[in-house]
């Protein structure tokens, strides 16, 4: 704050993006809005829009939440997620502190790493449950409901989860549908449970029945790509390096056309108070990775061999390399 010349910072959160607020005050509020104000002297005040949150946190309630944004605030983390009426209440055009706060969040403390390890353990157990209950004839939403119930019963605050099922016609993952699983399907998922504000993720592919030659060949490529990045990641390499290591494997096998935005979104991303934190692992992102960051590497993409397939683990970047925090076996699961 002193470097930027800011006398105060507002940290705003809403039901969609709680992470700017929770980076200072780790309360899982249930209402629409929450605001923390931090002065350069270290004083913190917290305001909620929902009376239940205010009561639980012993903090201020602002029924007309717009009044919490008094003119003259130096900078706002979460400015990009605020309603226009809140921005207008700040008076002159406010300065965004979002990027500065996100940079501070990237390197995790020992306490934060412990929460992420707990979330990883829950992700592993959640995927075990996924494999146990998946069967032909079950609908996608029924499987997701089983896994969601398991995770919430075992302590997850939240869980970001995508799924897909089928064959070469599947080009990506999405929220669950009424589609029934069939023998021979690839069933892919991305599980991202949250523990005490912090997310961890696992990506795996399950084949119902005996996998085809094409499914096995595709998984070998995905496994090779994921391992190439995991073997490379350490402090000092860039996000671009990690993405290129994965994409080069697909290029080596003749599938370079499937490494672009048409078929894949990212080759990984950071994890923390939001399930999809920046920097993203892409070939045009030259951000230098640091010790203490937590990332997931996942070469999730479409291939004509098998359709969309996923494979990835949460990694803690250490002094000389990285540590895989997921314990789930690195294989193509079959049932």
CATH fold, domain 110-334, is: Creatine Amidinohydrolase (3.90.230)
- At 73 the pLDDT is 62
pLDDT band at 99 (very low <50, low <70, confident <90, very high): very high
- Over range 233-243, report the average pLDDT: 98
| pLDDT digit string, tens, across residues 118-137 | 999 999 999 999 999 999 99
- Token pair for residue 25? 């005050």
Judged against a pLDDT cut of 70, whether residue 149 lies above it is answered with yes
Residues of CATH 3.90.230.10 domain(s) within the chain?
Answer: 110-334
Judged against a pLDDT cut of 90, whether residue 245 lies above it is answered with yes
Judged against a pLDDT cut of 90, whether residue 92 lies above it is answered with no
The answer for residues whose C-beta is within 8 angstroms of residue 214's C-beta and 6 or more apart is 305, 306
Q: What is the DSSP string of 148-199?
A: HHHHHHTT-SEEEEEEEEESTT----BS--SPBP-TT-EEEEEEEEEETTEE
| pLDDT digit string, tens, across residues 57-74 | 888 788 889 988 877 668
CA distance 302 to 300: 7
The domain at 8-105 falls in which architecture? 3-Layer(aba) Sandwich (3.40)
- Over range 292-300, report the average pLDDT: 97
- At 72 the pLDDT is 66
CA distance 203 to 221: 15
Residue 251: phi and psi, rounded to 5, are -65, -40
- Over range 142-154, report the average pLDDT: 98
What does pTM read for this prediction? 0.95
* Rg of the chain taking only CA atoms, in angstroms: 21
- At 126 the pLDDT is 98
| pLDDT digit string, tens, across residues 212-222 | 999 999 999 99
Range in 6-20, 69-83, 218-232, 275-289 with the lowest mean pLDDT = 69-83
- Over range 265-282, report the average pLDDT: 97
CA distance 1 to 37: 13
Residues of CATH 3.40.350.10 domain(s) within the chain?
Answer: 8-105
Return the bridge partners of 324, or none.
Answer: 315
Task: Specify burial of residue 223 (Cβ count, 10 A radius: 0-12, 13-18, 19+).
Answer: middle
Residue 158: phi and psi, rounded to 5, are -155, 170
């Amino acid at each position: 704050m002193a470097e930027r010349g800011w006398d105060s910072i507002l940290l705003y959160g809403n039901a969609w993006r709680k992470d700017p607020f929770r980076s200072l005050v780790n309360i899982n509020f249930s209402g629409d809005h929450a605001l923390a104000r931090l002065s350069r002297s270290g004083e913190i005040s917290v305001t909620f829009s929902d009376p239940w949150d205010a009561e639980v946190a012993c903090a201020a309630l602002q029924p007309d939440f717009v009044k919490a944004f008094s003119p003259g605030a130096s900078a706002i983390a979460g400015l990009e997620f605020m309603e226009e009426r809140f921005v207008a209440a700040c008076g002159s055009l406010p300065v965004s502190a979002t990027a500065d706060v996100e940079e501070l969040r990237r390197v995790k403390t020992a306490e934060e790493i412990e929460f992420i390890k707990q979330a990883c353990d829950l992700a592993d157990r959640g995927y075990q449950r996924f494999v146990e209950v998946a069967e032909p004839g079950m609908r996608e939403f029924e499987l997701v409901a089983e896994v969601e119930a398991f995770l919430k019963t075992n302590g997850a605050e939240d869980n970001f989860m995508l799924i897909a099922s089928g064959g070469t016609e599947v080009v990506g993952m999405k929220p669950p549908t009424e589609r029934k699983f069939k023998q021979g399907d690839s069933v892919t998922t991305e599980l991202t449970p949250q523990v005490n504000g912090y997310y961890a993720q696992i990506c795996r592919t399950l084949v119902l029945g005996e996998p085809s030659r094409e499914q096995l060949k595709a998984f070998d490529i995905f496994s090779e790509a994921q391992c190439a990045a995991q073997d490379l990641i350490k402090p000092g390499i860039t996000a671009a390096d990690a993405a290129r290591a994965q994409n080069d494997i697909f290029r080596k096998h003749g599938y370079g056309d499937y490494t672009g935005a048409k078929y894949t979104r990212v080759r990984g991303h950071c994890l923390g108070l939001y399930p999809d934190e920046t920097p993203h692992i892409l070939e045009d992102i030259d951000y230098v990775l640091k010790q203490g960051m937590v990332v997931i590497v996942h070469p999730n993409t479409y291939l004509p061999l098998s359709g969309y397939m996923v494979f990835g683990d949460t990694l803690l970047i250490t002094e000389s390399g990285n540590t895989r925090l997921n314990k789930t076996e690195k294989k193509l699961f079959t049932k």
